[in-house]
Amino acid sequence: MTSPVNYTLTDEIGVITVDNPPVNALSHAVRQGLMDALDQADKDASRAILIVCEGRTFIAGADISEFGKPMQEPSLPEIVNRIEATAKPVVAAIHGTALGGGFEVALGAHYRCAVATAKVGLPEVKLGLLPGAGGTQRTPRLAGVEAALELMTSGAPIAAARAVAVGLIDRIVDGDVREGGMAWVQELLAEGAGPRRTSEQPVPDHEAAVFDGARALLAKKARGQVAPQAIVDCVEAAATRSFAEGLQVERENFIKLMNGEQSAALRHFFFAERQAAKVDGLAPDTGTRPVESVGIIGGGTMGGGIAMSFANAGIPVTLIEISDEALERGLSIIDRNYAGSVKRGKLSEDKAAACRALISGATDYAALSDVDMVIEAVFEDPNLKKEIFKKLDGVCKAGAILATHTSYQDVDAIAAATSRPADVVGTHFFSPAHIMKLLEVVRGAKTADDVLATCMQLAKRIRKVPVVSGVCYGFIGNRMLQPYGQQTQLLLLEGATPEQVDGAMEKWGMAMGPLRVFDLAGLDVGYKAREALSDEEKGDPATYRVPDLLVEAERLGQKSGAGFYTYDENRRPNPDPAVHEIIRNAAAELGIEQRTISDEEIVNRLIGALVSEGRKILDEGIAQRSGDIDVVYVYGYGFPAWRGGPMFYGEAASL
Ligand code: T1G
């Protein structure tokens, strides 16, 4: 088998080329190939060494698929130290994304150059790990403690220009990365440059208190996560101990994290997210339809956010509303959202203006006669939605995709309202739609393969993570939320307080506890939905008695200043003894005895409710695979990725 690493001697330069598609991951074969190439360069007439990669990117890290298996020699730390120890100057030439172990290889080199479009990063924290091949020791020596901590605890890559500014990259080269790299090596040789070992450089001056400051900040920002704290320990070791001792601290922490639950969960999630983009039974070469213009029906909060998602991806949008006033209101929501993004520094003024300019409004459906796709986003009235699809059937061109943004409704029934059910699909966005990454793509019984393939591809284009769902009430996410909500109500009646339930779930890692979520969504939404149901359809009164009583007491949630909590002017929730009393009375009325409930029981019952409904969803084939459900809950419902998602956690905790 040919090695994915090639070595040539060109113009007295030993050129090491890595070619291991798709992202030049540091598999065992690549590591062995690097070691062999370094041995060759040691022995031959080369005066310097250039490390460069084929394909779309420089090395994007260790091969994550090898984790959890017995490690094969040579190890990555060994190779990086070997590169640094080389007696000839070693230059790394970077294009694409040099990430994790890939960037550590470059940090082991004596000089680094990159094309302007390149990015570098140490995203190991996103896998519950830390840079385990010297990155925690070399990065602070080059970039200083603060920049190193930011790079490793955020895990976010930085652009080449920023990397030059903080000292991680020496030079930007123009044109082809290999040619640019070769030319620079020639220049270095002409200047008589020799090896320059980062391990021999001191860590620049810094405030000693920076480490405790980072620990406190991360305890809030990365609540419950162990890897960020371990990174701070390693960088502190870099600043206070010898390089060799620092490497030892790094190794010990790396092995501990690698064998830990959080990294196993995050590694599962890494692949689950990539797997979710694949649709079983859909041929990889299934064609797609062009989507270069979109219509949105309904300029409410969701319609406005969906319009922004497309405009932000450069796709022109026509927003349809029933009247000029309603249209004005819808467009002003969008203006406010863009102003907010500029204020928070998420978008530049120019970019926001350019995106906003792609959104126009109309009140006549005729404006949609030539668009490639329409997304209906009006409120959850099935008859209104069917009426709208009948109208769209009449005005939209042949081949236009007709999508409904519904959170619950029967997509097949909506499709049946048209003469072209094959063009109908569900696209369930999450609020706020211009921010939340999740998109449930609901495959109707008659949805055409190319319509599905188009939506999966389009999701990436508008920076969403797509997950395919079959048709059922509430699809994947909201269907599972129902038993989760019902179990929450039972826990309250049995003796837990709203703040205890939310506290237990947030301490466990949920972004927000269930009662705060219900108050945010508005308790009247569920109340109105229940009003349309018979007692039999509503099920066990214990699962909705308290929310009904709160609504009847005009406690609708955050929007009315009170729900399960009262809310101050900064929308902070405050426990309310009046709610405790309403719950106690309801329990007495329903004959439910109250008792002390542990946080552990709360977590197990609520996550257990998600898991058991998730299993039914898998059995029914509504979700393709359990990893998809994990992706839905992490990107749509604030489930902690470092727990892997409900199905992964359920398996690990035998729920
Ligand atoms: N290992 C194995 N497979 C990988 C991989 C990796 N590091 N990175 C990507 N793939 C696969 C991926 O599963 C997919 O496969 C295909 O490549 C394309 O990926 C010691 C311990 C590079 C920015 O965390 O962030 O180094 O689905 O769909 O959107 O300190 O992939 O086609 O079968 O994501 O263009 C650190 C992880 C590892 C980077 C490209 N590195 N990768 O994004 O393509 S830990 C990372 C990414 C480490 C050392 C430590 C992205 C990307 P398939 P893709 P993309």
Q: Which residue among the candidates 104, 250, 273, 499 is catalytic per the annotation? A: 104
Q: Is the CB of 22 under 6 A from ligand 1?
A: yes
Identify whether 124 is a catalytic site residue: yes
Q: Which helix (H) or strand (E) holds 604?
A: helix 599-619
| Predicted local confidence at residue 532, as pLDDT | 82
Atom of ligand 1 nearest to the CA of 155: 24
Other C-beta atoms lying within 10 Å of the C-beta of residue 194: 12
| Phi/psi of residue 265, nearest 5 degrees | -65, -45
Could you report the per-residue pLDDT of 359-410, keeping only the tens digit for each?
999 999 999 999 999 999 999 999 999 999 999 999 999 999 999 999 999 9
Ligand 1 pocket check for 279: Cβ under 6 Å: no
* pLDDT tens column, 347-356: 999 999 999 9
pLDDT of residue 193: 97
What 3-state DSSP class applies to 361?
strand
Angle at 423 between CA 417 and CA 427, to 5 degrees: 90
Q: Hey, what amino acid is at 171? A: R
Ligand 1 in reach of 76 Cβ (< 6 A): yes
CA 294 – ligand 1 centroid, Å? 32
Atom index in ligand 1 nearest the CA of residue 102 equals: 26
CA separation (Å) from 195 to 89, 102, 142, 212? 4, 20, 15, 35
Question: Separation of 60 CA from ligand 1 center, angstroms?
Answer: 6
Q: Do 41 and 16 contact (CB within 8 A), yes or no?
A: yes
The tally of CA atoms less than 13 A away on the side-chain side of residue 178 is 14
Low-confidence ranges of the chain (pLDDT < 70): none
Q: What's the 99 CA to ligand 1 centre distance in angstroms?
A: 9
Calpha distance 551→334 (Å, rounded): 30
Catalytic residue among 66, 73, 124, 531: 124
Cβ atoms 125, 85 nearer than 8 A: no
Interatomic CA distance for residues 257 and 240, integer angstroms: 22
Residue 264: what pLDDT?
A: 97
**β-strand partners of 462:** none
What is the pLDDT, as a whole number, of residue 266?
98
CA 436 to CA 463: how far, in whole Å? 10
* CB of 124 shorter than 6 A to ligand 1: yes
**Sequence-ordered strand ranges (E) for 266-346:** 294-297, 317-320
Nearest to 153 by CA among 257, 228, 223: 228
Residues 6+ apart with CB under 8 A from 214: 149, 153, 232
Q: What integer pLDDT is reported at residue 2 of this predicted model?
A: 84
Q: Which pLDDT score is estimated for 525?
A: 86
DSSP secondary structure letters along 149-201: HHHHHH---EEHHHHHHTTS--EEE-S-HHHHHHHHHHHHHHTT-----GGGS
* Distances, alpha carbon 487 to alpha carbons 161, 493, 601, 608, 609, in Å: 52, 10, 11, 9, 7
Which pLDDT belongs to residue 493? Answer: 98
Helix axes 261-276, 626-636, angle to 10 degrees: 100
Helix axes 76-85, 101-108, angle to 10 degrees: 20
- Compute, in angstroms, the gap from residue 61 CA to the centroid of ligand 1: 7
Q: Ligand 1 pocket, 250 CB below 6 A?
A: no
Q: What is the pLDDT of residue 227?
A: 98
> 22 alpha carbon to ligand 1 midpoint, in Å?
9
The 3-state DSSP class for residue 145 equals helix
- Residue ID of nearest Cα to ligand 1 atom 29: 274
Q: How far apart are the two ends of the chain, measured CA to CA in Å? A: 45
